[in-house]
Amino acid sequence: MKKITLIIEKSHDGLFWGRIKYKNNLLVEKASSVVALERKMKKLLSDFYDLQKEKIEFEIAYDLSVFFEQKDFLNISGIAKLANINASLLRQYAAGIKFPSPEKAAEIEEVIRRIGNELSLVNISARVREGEERRNKMGKLSLQ
């Protein structure tokens, strides 16, 4: 089965809201966590469309407020700088005070993807005692 897009937002009362458009129907649910929300959405799809829960896969699309909460290791100021937008504006987007235009959201998404691509290329060096064997990620043996 192809992935189903699940859009996740967070309300001011702290609940996560999710929505799915499936077969021209809009399914909406809320939960106290993203994991619980995914579980509830799978149940809805199972109940209404007889889909097997274990075969349902979601492609998550985050509202910016949920994204920065779920990925709290990311620095909002750093992302704002890379996206050439004001850091306080990005914080307002993250807090749900203001909302980015589709174009601005795409620019922010592009910066986040670029960071992900850069991180995927990182190699971390570990010191190895003299004479010990070490295999790099390609499986090649090297002596250090």
Domain edges within the chain: 1-62, 74-127
| SS3 at position 136 | coil
Question: φ and ψ at 63, to 5 degrees?
Answer: -65, 145
> Could you read off the pLDDT of 77-90 as tens digits, one per residue?
999 999 999 999 99
Tokens at 128, concatenated: 């190895």
Q: Smallest Cα–Cα separation from 85: which of 109, 61, 69?
A: 109
57: pLDDT strictly greater than 90: yes
Query: Cα–Cα distance between 7 and 123 in angstroms, integer?
Result: 33
pLDDT score at 144: 46
